[in-house]
């Protein structure tokens, strides 16, 4: 059900749309940069001056400007819609067994390695996954499958669509790369049917003739929970809509997906014809068509239009957390480059922390407590702006039944005995595999706890989110992104040499390579001053002072050869400066801070509450940077499980090998789960189970219809 605020937001946006679209078309029409795709002769015939923008709202209003009726081939934009048909044909579990959902960080036509195929480290947006998806379309023969595919597109568009036979035949005769990819997938038993039939169907789906308005209607159908807003016909089962737009969000723009989600923050898909579609859930579908392609082979004008629309109309999925004015560029450079400045925030002078104690080995706590939190240094109580019952009511559950559900989840998953416990060296500290705590803190400061929520543990890699916030505050967004990118990789957290081929930037700040580069950016007069600033930053988020566990720090320092290797590679590429030992010491110190499950939930609630600690009322980070942190957590926070996390759980999160997982439900609450046994990716097994179930029960997925 759509609430009154959402209806008012819709009305305000649609009121502005005609003027905004006209202005953006006027602004970006003069761009002369970019190149028209020519790998197929038919694509090379496109006029570089073609430029159209269409918006279709969920209540069927259509806004167009420019060349919105010119036909072109749909190309890769067909992929998410064919994936939806495969889900309807086989169900979620079967399709996930065959085709992964992890971002690759690579181009759309990259050849996938043997190990990556075996571990499903590909997705339905790259060609390998898309060909496998097409093979799943049911039908007695090729003709029946073609017919079903065309009928599916008819439901999305609202009219008959045709295949561009010239382009289809061209791809069939000359597309040797996709034929090679198909044989590789066949070698691993991942295609169902004859290769020639599968490729014919795949080439045909990419050769369908559409126009800009058609694509906006298709996007509007996804925004409208699978119902075509023009015809009223259901094109896709509502249950699968969030799966499609989750994949579009994390993988829809290939090796540009991270930058896209960081800046634009909408589920989207691009194609080499020069089109981009975007979905604003519950509001509208957007399509831009302009053949000249820019970096990463995306429509140059298309990217610019989406960036401007997202900023001016506050369409980013995490914009609802932040209350800042919109932005529309006044002028552009003819080469297509325009940027905005971000506010630099400097920390105040910080105090020296006390000596760091070693964390206790065990503290048993009665399960199922609410609002009875004994804090080590209780902060002054802040009068809540919102009522906790109202917060929980957003989840369609009462506070009483909410804590009952938490108790039930604790009982359900406590018996799990799978996984390994991370220790930097044997006998350093005794860790009980049965430790298991859950804590939820709402943005009005109410606390719900179950199990071992007071048990201390090391923050480990969860620290990366908050160190990233410090770097943004110290240097500003543009400089930080120039040093560390925001692209998900699908690789493990400690991947040794995951830097970009050309820029040599680490792919994102959540993997160790990027995190070390981020720690190197933290300002300070010396090592002690930088550590003090780091600890003071934690204090603002948690609400009390925190300490570094010295034995754990020393252990990590003596067993850190991999991090030393990463640091020297970064210095070799000019990505870090100064003394490597000082940077690594600070990095390990930030990871060796002692917290508990409640602390972690308060940190999550602070991010959910626009950077304001809901327990103390203190601003922990400027609200301008909340969107940055949530975006990176959402796409990169769970490493090589990030794609599946977005697909199944659907809220920003970060894990650590200490057994903690932090989750953020923007505007509602922070979630923390602590349980030391880890899966092969270094994520808490019980923590993932709890978050999956919380998302399912209470509809916490950001793209939930």
Structure tokens at 658: 């200490």
| Residue 115, C-beta contacts closer than 8 angstroms, at least 6 positions apart | 121
> Of these residues, 28, 83, 468, 639, which one is catalytic?
639
The three-point CA angle 133-136-138 to 5° equals 140
Structure tokens at 109: 């036509």
Residue reference for tokens 């977005």? 646
In our burial notation (b when 16+ CB lie closer than 10 A, e otherwise), range 286-299 reads bbbbbbbbbebbbb
| Residue 468, C-beta contacts closer than 8 angstroms, at least 6 positions apart | 480, 509, 515, 518, 628, 629, 632
Q: For 460, left (φ over 0), alpha (ψ -120 to 50), or beta?
A: left
Q: What is the 3-state secondary structure (H, E, C) of 629-659?
A: HHHHHHHHCCHHHHHHHHHHCCCCEEECCCC
Cross-strand partners of 595: 457
Active site residue 304: no
- What's the DSSP call for residue 58? T
Distance separating alpha carbons of residues 299 and 285, to the nearest angstrom: 17
- Output Rg (C-alpha) for the chain, integer angstroms: 25
Active site residue 413: no
- What's the DSSP call for residue 676? -
* Residues 56, 228 contacting (CB under 8 angstroms): no
Active site residue 122: no
Q: Of 15, 156, 26, 135, which Cα lies nearest the Cα of 81?
A: 156
Active site residue 468: no
Cross-strand partners of 209: 73
Strands (E), 185-263: 209-210
Active site residue 525: no
> Of these residues, 171, 464, 648, 654, which one is catalytic?
464
> Of these residues, 135, 257, 424, 461, which one is catalytic?
461
> Of these residues, 450, 657, 664, 668, which one is catalytic?
657
In our burial notation (b when 16+ CB lie closer than 10 A, e otherwise), range 591-619 reads bbbbbbbbbbbbbbbbbbbbbbbbbbbbe
- Antiparallel, parallel or unpaired: β 275-280 and 669-674: unpaired
> Cα-flanking dihedrals φ and ψ of residue 422, to 5°?
-80, 130
Distance separating alpha carbons of residues 582 and 404, to the nearest angstrom: 47
Distance separating alpha carbons of residues 443 and 385, to the nearest angstrom: 9
- Antiparallel, parallel or unpaired: β 72-73 and 62-66: unpaired
- What residues are labeled active site? 461, 464, 587, 639, 657
């Amino acid at each position: 059900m759509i609430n009154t605020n959402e209806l008012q937001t819709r009305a305000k946006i649609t009121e502005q749309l005609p003027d905004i679209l006209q202005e953006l078309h006027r602004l970006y029409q003069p761009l002369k940069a970019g190149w028209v795709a020519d790998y197929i002769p038919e694509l090379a015939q496109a006029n570089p001056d073609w430029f159209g923008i269409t918006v279709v709202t969920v209540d069927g209003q259509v806004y167009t400007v420019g060349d919105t009726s010119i036909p072109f081939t749909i190309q890769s934009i067909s992929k998410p819609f064919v994936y939806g048909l495969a889900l309807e044909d086989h169900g979620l579990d079967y399709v996930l067994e065959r085709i992964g959902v992890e971002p690759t960080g690579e181009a759309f036509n990259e050849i996938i390695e043997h190990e990556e195929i075996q571990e499903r480290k590909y997705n339905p947006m790259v060609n390998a996954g898309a060909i496998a998806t097409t093979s799943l379309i049911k039908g007695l023969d090729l003709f029946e499958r073609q017919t079903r595919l065309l009928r599916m597109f008819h439901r999305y568009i609202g009219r008959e669509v045709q295949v561009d036979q010239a382009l289809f035949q061209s791809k069939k005769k000359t597309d040797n790369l996709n034929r090679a990819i198909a044989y590789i997938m066949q070698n691993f038993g991942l295609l169902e049917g004859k290769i020639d039939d599968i490729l014919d169907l795949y080439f045909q789906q990419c050769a369908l003739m559409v126009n800009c308005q058609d694509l906006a209607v298709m996007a509007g159908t996804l925004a409208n929970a699978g119902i075509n807003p023009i015809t009223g016909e259901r094109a896709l089962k509502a249950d699968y809509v969030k799966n499609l737009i989750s994949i579009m969000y994390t993988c829809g723009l290939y090796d540009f997906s991270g930058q896209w989600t960081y800046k634009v923050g909408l589920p989207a898909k691009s194609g080499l014809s020069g089109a981009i579609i975007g979905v604003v859930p519950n509001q509208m579908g957007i399509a831009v068509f302009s053949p000249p392609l820019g970096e990463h082979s995306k429509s140059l004008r298309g990217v610019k239009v989406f960036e401007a629309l997202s900023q001016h109309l506050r369409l980013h999925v995490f914009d609802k957390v932040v209350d800042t004015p919109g932005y529309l560029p006044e002028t552009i450079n003819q080469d297509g480059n325009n940027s905005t400045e971000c506010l630099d925030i400097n920390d105040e002078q910080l105090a020296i922390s006390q000596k760091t104690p070693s964390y206790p080995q065990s503290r048993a706590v009665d399960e199922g407590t609410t609002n009875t939190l004994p804090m080590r240094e209780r902060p002054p109580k802040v009068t809540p702006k919102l009522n906790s019952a109202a917060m929980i009511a957003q989840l369609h559950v009462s506070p009483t039944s909410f804590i009952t559900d938490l108790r039930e989840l604790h009982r359900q998953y406590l018996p799990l005995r799978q996984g390994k416990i991370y220790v930097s060296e044997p006998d350093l500290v005794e860790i009980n595999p049965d430790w298991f705590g859950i804590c939820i803190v709402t943005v009005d400061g109410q606390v719900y706890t179950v199990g071992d929520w007071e048990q201390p543990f090391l923050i480990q890699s969860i620290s990366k989110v908050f160190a990233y916030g410090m770097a943004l505050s110290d240097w500003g967004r543009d400089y930080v992104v120039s040093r560390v990118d925001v692209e998900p990789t699908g690789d493990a957290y400690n991947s040794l040499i995951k830097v970009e081929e050309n820029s040599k930037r680490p792919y994102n700040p959540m993997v160790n390579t990027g995190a070390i580069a981020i720690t190197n950016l933290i300002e300070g007069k010396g090592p002690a001053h930088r550590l003090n600033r780091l600890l003071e930053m934690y204090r603002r988020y948690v609400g009390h002072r925190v300490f570094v566990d010295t034995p754990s720090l020393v252990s990590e320092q003596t067993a850190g050869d991999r991090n030393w290797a990463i640091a020297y590679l970064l210095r070799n590429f000019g990505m870090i400066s100064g003394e490597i030992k000082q940077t690594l010491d600070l990095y390990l110190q930030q990871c060796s801070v002692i917290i508990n499950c409640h602390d972690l939930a308060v940190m999550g609630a602070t991010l959910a509450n626009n950077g304001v600690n809901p327990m103390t009322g203190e601003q922990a980070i400027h609200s301008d940077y909340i969107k940055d942190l949530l975006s990176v957590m959402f796409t990169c926070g769970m490493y090589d499980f990030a794609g599946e996390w977005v697909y199944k759980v659907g809220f920003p999160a970060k894990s650590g090998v200490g057994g903690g997982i932090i989750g953020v439900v923007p505007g509602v609450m922070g979630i923390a789960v602590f349980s030391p046994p880890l899966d092969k990716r270094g994520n808490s097994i019980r923590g993932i189970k709890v978050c999956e179930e919380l998302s399912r029960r209470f509809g916490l997925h950001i793209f939930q219809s």
